[in-house]
Amino acid sequence: MTTPILSLQGVNKSFGPIDVLHDINLEVRAGEVLCLLGDNGAGKSTLIKIMSGVHKPTNGTILMDGLPVAFDTPRDASDRGIATVHQFGGTFPLMSIGRSFFIGVEPTKGWGPFKVYDRKKANEIAVKAVRDFGITRIFDGDRLVGGLSGGERQSLAIARAVHFGARVLILDEPTAALGVKQATHVLRIVNEAKRRGLAVIFITHQVMHAMAVGDHFAVLIRGAVAADFRKGEKTREEITDLMAGGASMASLEAEIEGFVASHDRHLPQVAQR
């Protein structure tokens, strides 16, 4: 197997007396999607903040390409090719597509011609990058980001990360606020990023979304990796149960089944008018 692009070894994180992450061991390889699952408060966002340089681990090691690294700032992580897309796409509603695509990109980093903002050129590059990801409804780089749909905004942020050479793409709940059609679109774009050889870390509460793109899954429960498995090793029901913290879903189903049996095959009723 190839060396993981990014791995965590024995990572712990405490905020003062509160232990949030315990002995996390995880790795992600090029061309692979790692889905990070877990209930609210399990530590998912804290974990990706460690990977993206927002927090430092209290203990443990982060490795890139097998070598230990330390991120003092988010900039250190992004300079090494770790791109994090936050829930609302990390974009700015009142900015044009072209502008937001190039924001924060230092003109000195290989962007000589952009020392003076070249609107036409920026729009061309941004629109092409987005269209290359299959978002063909976008053709005007002057359109404001605020007028895009949630799925289009996520797609813009992902296309941007890929364009600027990200090797690791971290997506914190990119499909959480989206309808079925838009979520499907974002999932397709995640697959495209993977096809292009990025390592993707995908955080979600939705087991179906995880199963649609994941090669590797890790379930966090109260700050620890409670399960770590590969595609095909667990069923949807097993993953749902794990996320709910054990057998609770199965026993809930049994409880409902018992209720139905003892109430003449009628389902529990919600108060009716």
Ligand X SMILES: Nc1ncnc2c1ncn2[C@@H]1O[C@H](COP(=O)(O)OP(=O)(O)OP(=O)(O)O)[C@@H](O)[C@H]1O
Residues 6+ apart with CB under 8 A from 265: none
Q: Give, as ranges, the residues between 182 and 241 that touch ligand X (CB under 6 A).
A: none
DSSP class of residue 268 equals P
CB 98 within 8 A of CB 142: yes
> Which member of 3, 25, 41, 247 binds ligand X (CB under 6 A)?
41
Question: Residue 132: exposed, middle, or buried by beta-carbon count in 10 A (0-12, 13-18, 19+)?
Answer: middle
Q: Does 150 bind ligand X (CB under 6 A)?
A: no
What's the CA gap between 225 and 239, in Å, rounded?
13
> Which member of 27, 30, 45, 82 binds Mg ion (CB under 5 A)?
45
> Which member of 6, 33, 45, 89 binds ligand X (CB under 6 A)?
45
Q: Which two tokens stand for residue 28?
A: 């992600």
> Which member of 46, 100, 155, 182 binds ligand X (CB under 6 A)?
46
Applying CB under 6 A, which part among 38-46, 114-122, 129-137, 156-164 lies near ligand X?
38-46
Residue with tokens 């600027």: 164
Q: Return the one option of ligand X, Mg ion, none that residue 10 interacts with (CB less than 5 to 8 A, by type).
A: none
Q: Return the one option of Mg ion, ligand X, none that residue 20 interacts with (CB less than 5 to 8 A, by type).
A: ligand X
Q: Return the one option of ligand X, Mg ion, none that residue 2 interacts with (CB less than 5 to 8 A, by type).
A: none
Strands (E), 173-240: 199-203, 216-221, 224-230
What's the CA gap between 199 and 6, in Å, rounded?
8
> Which member of 44, 99, 167, 185 binds ligand X (CB under 6 A)?
44
Q: Which of 59, 37, 34, 55 is nearest to 46 (CA)?
A: 55
State the chain's maximal CA–CA distance in angstroms.
Answer: 76
What's the CA gap between 182 and 153, in Å, rounded?
10
Applying CB under 5 A, which part among 40-48, 71-79, 175-183, 242-250 lies near Mg ion?
40-48
Q: Does 20 bind ligand X (CB under 6 A)?
A: yes
Q: Which two tokens stand for residue 124?
A: 């061309």
Q: Which is nearer to ligand X, 168 or 218 (CB)?
A: 218
Q: Does 84 bind Mg ion (CB under 5 A)?
A: no
Size of the site for Mg ion (CB under 5 A): 1
> Which member of 40, 108, 262, 269 binds ligand X (CB under 6 A)?
40
Contacts with ligand X by CB under 6 A lie at 15, 18, 20, 38, 40-46
Contacts with Mg ion by CB under 5 A lie at 45
